[in-house]
A and B are shown apart, each in its own frame.
Chain A
Amino acid sequence: MTYIAKPKFHHPGLPKNELGYTHRDYEGKISTLCAGCGHDSITASIIEACYELSIEPHRVAKISGIGCSSKTPDYFLGNSHGFNSVHGRMPSVLTGANLANRDLIYLGVSGDGDSASIGFGQFAHSIRRGVNMTYIVENNGVYGLTKGQFSATADRGSKSKKGVTNTDNAIDLVAIALQLGASFVARSFSGDKTQLVPLIAAAIRHKGAAFIDVVSPCIAFNNHAGSTKSFDYVREHNDAVNRLDVLTGRDPITVDYAPGTVQMVEQHDGTRLALRKIDADYDANDRLAAMTFLQKHAAKGQVVTGLLYVDPDAEDLHAHLDTVETPLNSLEAKDLCPGTAALEKINASLR
């Protein structure tokens, strides 16, 4: 832990985004996590993505549960709304908030304990319902706060710091998310910001349930030989299927690759995703193929990363439920209480 505040000074030549902010303006408090924690790199990536998208910090709600990962919303977007909820309950709180006010950008931050153990059900239902959110799991495969027991995402056969082998099967949150109908599914690695930042940006711009599983090594308890969530292991076994460029309205298209190697995907809000294929056969629009691909490569011990699936035309929970567009806190009394005539009409329809 660091005891001094991060100095306010910043590089005099830092570029500014459309709002006139530098990326430093998207920071929060200084991290209290262990030195070198992968989560801090994810924090930095969220900061970078929000800076690049010129997001107004007060238009963001960041919601988390309990755990090392769930502490991180304190370290980014210091001027956003935040809710540090009960263990595993981030998805419910986020769903509720989203239903009450669809105008905010919802950022759910969770960990492998929070989402794959105590909050597994919550995770499943928020994805299943298609809540419009960016759901990030900072996945290190161990319970760091309680000194390194295997979590539910630890791979079978991987070794703990003390040398104990994990005998349980792992939950692959990406596979589950695909199966439950998430309309944006990605996996990345905290040690690869060039991959992670555009994925977060694209997920924020995606309408629907966007899920990103970020492998994030735990320096203190899960960065040793025998771990499958260590810097070295992930670097050696990283199988990226594509690279992503997020093109918002004002950016020119700068990607210049051989025809057929770039797939353009246009999302609801006009954001275009330029997917540079690394694996020529991989199709990010094919949910079934993605699931098969994942299983095959996982069996070989590979960590498949990249934008694994996207449905650009997805709809969200509000569309399914046909809810009112105005945030609940802005509805006037006459909207909430439409009068006797309206009541009579409703009653009549139920007779």
Chain B
Amino acid sequence: MKPTDISAPDYFHKVVDCQWACPAHTPVPEYIRLIAEGRYSDAYMINWKSNVFPGILGRTCDRPCEPACRRGRVEENPVAICRLKRVAADFKDDVKHRMPKPLAKNGKRIALVGGGPASLTVARDLAPLGYHCTVFDADPKAGGMMRSQIPKFRLPDTVIDEETDYILNLGVEFKGGHRIDSLKKLLNENYDAIFIGSGAPRGRELDIPGRKEAASNIHIGIEWLASVSFGHVEKIGRRVIVLGGGNTAMDCCRTARRLGGQDVKVIVRSGFEEMKASPWEKEDALHEDIPILNYMVPVAFKHVGGKLIGVTFQKVKAEYDANGRRNLVPSGEPDQTIPCDDVLVAVGQENAFPWIERDCGIEFDKWNMPQVDTKTFVSTNPKVFFGGDAAFGPKNIIWAVAHGHDAALSIHKMISGEDITERPLPEVQVFSQKMGIHEWSYDNDISGDKRYKVPHRDKVIALKDIKAEVELGYDVKLALGEAQRCLNCDVQTVFSAPACIECDACVDICPMDCITFTENGEEEDLRQRLKAPSPRPDQALYVAEGLKTGRVMVKDEDVCLHCGLCAERCPTGAWDMQKYLIDMTYAGSTCQSKARSAA
């Protein structure tokens, strides 16, 4: 294998699995250490810079970081990264004075369609640079789907208000209750750029017999959630069936439980395991006595005299074809009709752009989606950008934030007359954590604690009040215990071959058998010859050459605890623990053309 180029910014970034997996590349271990130190405001601001909505995401994020977390490969459960983010938000001091001070207005005007996370991120990045940002939203308050679709018992309004206000207070103009119904008209208002972050606002229909006849008791999930959110709906029948297996379905069933639904069931086509909903959301639903029935495909709504009386399901089973593709085929069992009073349909969301005229320079593809560049987020109209669900279909908040950052950078470059396809590399800092012979500026003693549970409100009380937040969040003590579980993966093991005397001290001490000194070979062969098995080829091998015996040092990054014992036991300082910080490039980053400054 070729020796590893650790100066490539991506190499160490990948080792920080959580940060690499986060679409917004939040420096997770860095903020977790700050939480452990009790520096909640600092931890909050690090989050705020990366993901804009720490309080909201700390309650609702889809957590791509957690399945990636190295701790999950070392023991049963990853670090509760998401709920620690909430800790930063819960315990911080007033941070208003730490928000950016916008520069004088530069005379450029940006229109942002939709007041959700994507648009607000763009506004957050551009307003401080002096842009005049105008956000349009059909709803009276900012927040988009975060406000309309996420139930209040998961995300209280106060949290949304606080974090949308941080952005609106940067001098962003918010036009609530103002639906944009013609892009052409908006284009005619001569904005310097238009960002479309209007989400995926249309709930997918379930067109099966009886849909029209029983319409008054069949509701589209996201629309129904929005009606509940704005107080238009306050009741539902006693027996409720929720169709669909995503997070919206979970929100629907739990909301129904609070509005009078006593017998609420979630019924999904697929198997329980393959449901799109996050495992913890399924758990929360089950905890509220909501059974989830699987392998049942709805075939008809049963109704009598215009009133819904039940749903008929065909039983199916999963079969896999030669390519491993799953097909749901009838199992042969008789159809089953389950009686109910109301049905909530949560089988997906779609984009809808009836308000974009097809002759204003924006090309649509064969699925009737706008053509958007995946890196720059520009449409075929150089002044119009897309982001969030509006760009590539429904994802989640953290993706919308990531899109927003990238789109803001594009808009800034476009208006500055730069080439928007040229994306400056992130800035990287790597610096030693050595403080004494065996002292490090991070806590390298590995905690053996298991993942701490987030305390929940008593179920009886929680189910009575639709606004009572179910999760109470970690207290300071629990947060400290959980923070200590973080393995500090951003404190990198850095090896210097010329200093190495091949004494094997690092090999002997490494608790995870990560390090091997051996003859070089092709990667596949090398992976066979490591001190411990290497079952994850997606995890890098760190290879260094230049040793006296002609061998190479190979470190499998997979399950390294970053405990620093290799460096502590190294007599010559050939190993060092160095903290790796990466500054993603945002609109207005000071040195855009500066070459990367890596290790």
Residue B533 interfacial (CB < 8 Å): yes
Partner pick for A35 among B448, B502, B571, CB 8 A cutoff: B571
Which chain A positions have C-beta within 8 A of B595?
A: none
State the 3 A-B residue pairs at the shortest beta-carbon distance, nearest first. A36-B571, A13-B533, A7-B446
Q: Is the CB of B513 within 8 A of A14?
A: yes
* Known interface pairs A10-B513, A190-B504; 11 further A-B residue pairs with C-beta atoms within 8 A, sorted by A's residue number: A2-B569, A4-B445, A9-B75, A9-B512, A12-B73, A12-B559, A14-B532, A24-B511, A35-B570, A44-B504, A223-B501
Contact B505 A37 (CB under 8 A): yes
Asked if B509 is an interface residue, CB under 8 A from chain A, the answer is: yes
- Verify if B420 is at the interface (C-beta below 8 Å from A): no
Tell me whether A3 and B503 are in contact (CB under 8 A). Answer: no
Residues of A27-74 whose CB lies within 8 A of B? 30-31, 34-38, 40-41, 43-44
Expressed in whole angstroms, the minimum distance between the Cβ of A124 and any Cβ of chain B is: 31
Docked pose: A151 CA to B569 CA in angstroms: 25
Q: How many A-B residue pairs have CB under 8 A?
A: 99
* Chain A 285-300 residues near chain B, CB threshold 8 A: none
Are B548 and A41 touching (Cβ within 8 A)? no
Contacts of B445 in A (CB 8 A): 4-5
| Binary flags per residue of A144-164, CB closer than 8 Å to B gives 1, else 0 | 000000000000000000000
Query: Contact partner of B504 among A5, A15, A41, CB < 8 A?
Result: A41
Cα(A231)–Cα(B512), bound, Å: 25
CA distance A15 to B533 in the complex (A): 9
Which of A9, A43, A231 contacts B448, CB < 8 Å?
Answer: A9
Q: Which residues of B contact A232 (CB under 8 A)?
A: 501, 548
- Which among A1, A10, A193, A217 is the interface contact of B511 at CB below 8 angstroms? A10
Q: Report Cα–Cα, A4/B446, bound state, in Å.
A: 9
CB of B535 within 8 Å of the partner chain: yes
**Docked-complex contact A11 and B503, CB < 8 angstroms:** no
Q: How close is A10's CB to chain B, nearest CB, in angstroms?
A: 6
Chain A hits for B532, CB < 8 A: 11, 13-14
Q: Do B571 and A34 touch (CB < 8 A)?
A: yes
| Contact A6 to B569, CB < 8 A, known contacts A13-B532, A193-B504 | no
Task: Say which one of B322-330, B341-349, B409-417, B560-568 lies at the interface with A.
Answer: B560-568
Residues of B within 8 A of A193 (CB): 504
| Chain B 457-475 per-residue mask, 1 if CB under 8 angstroms from chain A, else 0 | 0000000000000000000
Neighbouring B residues of A7 by C-beta, 8 Å: 446, 448, 511, 561, 563
Instruction: Tell me if B565 and A41 are in contact (CB < 8 A).
Output: no
Check A12–B504 contact: CB distance below 8 A.
no
Which of A30, A35, A190 lies at the interface centre, i.e. has the most chain B CB atoms within 10 A of its CB? Answer: A35
Cα A217 to Cα B501 in complex, Å, equals: 11
Q: Which residues of A contact B446 (CB under 8 A)?
A: 4, 7, 9
Flag whether A8 is at the interface (Cβ < 8 A). yes
Which residues of B lie under 8 Å from residue A1 when comparing CB positions?
438
Whether B513 lies near A11 (C-beta < 8 A) is: yes
A219 within 8 A of B: yes
B511 / chain A contacts, CB cutoff of 8 Å? 6-10, 24
Inter-subunit contact B74/A12 (CB<8 Å): yes
Q: When each residue 550-576 of chain B gets 1 if its CB lies under 8 Å from chain A and 0 otherwise, what string results?
A: 000000000101010100111110000
A7-B71 Cα distance, complex, nearest whole Å: 13
Chain B residue nearest to A24 (CB atoms) is B511
Cβ 8 A contact of B559, one of A11, A191, A217, A223: A11
Asked if A235 is at the interface (CB within 8 A of a chain B CB), the reply is: yes
Tell me, in angstroms, the Cα distance from A15 to B530 when the chains sit together.
13
Dominant SS among interface residues on chain B: loop
Closest to B440 in A: A4
In B492-513, which residues have CB < 8 Å from any A CB? Answer: 501-505, 507-509, 511-513
Q: A13 touching B448 by the CB < 8 A rule?
A: no
Q: How far apart are the CA atoms of A10 and B563 in the complex, in Å?
A: 12
Q: Taking A4-B445, A7-B446, A35-B569 as contacts, is the C-beta distance between A13 and B535 under 8 angstroms?
A: yes
Within 8 A of A (CB), among B401-427: none
Is there a chain A Cβ closer than 8 Å to B549's Cβ? yes
Residues facing B in A82-140 (CB within 8 A) are: none
By a CB distance below 8 angstroms, the chain A residues around B371 are none
In the complex, the answer to whether A235 meets B561 with C-beta atoms within 8 Å is no
Q: Given the complex, which residues of A lie within 8 Å of B559, measured CB to CB? A: 11-12
Min CB distance A190 to B, Å, is: 8
Interface status of B444 (Cβ within 8 A of chain A): yes
Bound: A10/B513 CA distance, A: 8
Closest residue of chain B to A1 (Cβ to Cβ) is B438
Q: Of residues 429 to 464 in B, which have CB atoms within 8 Å of A's CB atoms?
A: 438, 444-446, 448
Q: Tell me the A301-335 residues at the B interface (CB within 8 Å).
A: none
Residue of A6, A8, A12, A191 near B565 (CB, 8 A) is A6
- Complex contacts, A219 vs chain B, CB 8 Å: 501, 503, 571
Q: Distance in Å from the Cβ of B545 to the closest Cβ of chain A?
A: 17
CB distance from A50 to the nearest CB of B (A): 15
A–B pairs, 24, beta carbons within 8 Å: A2-B565, A2-B569, A3-B438, A4-B445, A6-B509, A6-B511, A6-B565, A7-B448, A7-B561, A7-B563, A9-B561, A10-B511, A11-B533, A12-B74, A12-B559, A14-B532, A36-B503, A36-B505, A37-B503, A37-B505, A41-B508, A43-B508, A190-B504, A232-B501
Nearest residue, chain A, Cβ from B446 = A7
Residue of A whose beta carbon sits closest to that of B567: A35
Rounded to whole angstroms, the CA-CA distance of A10 and B559 in the bound complex is: 9
Bound Cα distance from A190 to B73, whole angstroms? 32
- By a CB distance below 8 angstroms, the chain B residues around A2 are 438, 509, 565, 568-569
Q: Which residue of B lies closest to A219 (CB)?
A: B571
> Which of chain A's residues has its CB closest to B504's CB?
A41
Q: How far is the CA of A38 from the CA of B569 in the complex (A)?
A: 12
B contact residues around A235 at 8 Å (CB): 548-549
Residues from chain B with a CB closer than 8 A to the CB of A44 are: 504, 507-508
Are A191 and B504 in touch, CB under 8 angstroms? yes
State in angstroms the CA–CA spacing of A319 and B502 once bound together.
Answer: 44
List the B side residues contacting A15 at CB < 8 Å.
533
CA A41 to CA B517, docked complex, whole Å: 13
Most B-side CB within 10 Å, residue of A10, A12, A193: A12
Q: How far is the CA of A34 from the CA of B569 in the complex (A)?
A: 8
Q: State whether A8 and B569 are in contact (beta carbons under 8 Å apart), knowing that A36-B503, A193-B504, A235-B549 are contacts in the complex.
A: no
Please, which residue of chain A has its CB at the minimum distance from the CB of B448? Answer: A8
Expressed in whole angstroms, the Cα–Cα distance for A41 and B506 within the complex equals 10
A4 to B440, CA, bound (A): 12
Query: For residue B73, which residues in chain A have a CB less than 8 angstroms away from its CB?
Result: 12
| B513-563 interface (Cβ within 8 A of A) | 513-514, 532-533, 535, 548-549, 559, 561, 563
Per the 8 Å Cβ criterion, residues 346-379 of B in contact with A are none
Kindly report which residue of chain B lies nearest to residue A217, judged by CB atoms. Answer: B503
Nearest neighbor of A9 in chain B, beta-carbon distance: B74
Closest CB-CB distance, B447 to chain A, in whole Å?
A: 9
Tell whether, in the assembled complex, residue B448 and residue A11 are in contact, meaning their CB atoms are under 8 Å apart.
no
How far does the Cβ of B477 sit from chain A's closest Cβ, in whole Å?
Answer: 22
**Please, how many angstroms separate the alpha-carbon atoms of A1 and B509 in the complex?**
12
CA–CA, A115 to B445, complex, Å?
38
Question: How far does the Cβ of B541 sit from chain A's closest Cβ, in whole Å?
Answer: 15
Q: Which residues of B contact A217 (CB under 8 A)?
A: 503
Rounded to whole angstroms, the CA-CA distance of A25 and B44 in the bound complex is 42
CB distance from B292 to the nearest CB of A (A): 30
CB closest chain-A residue, reference B561: A7
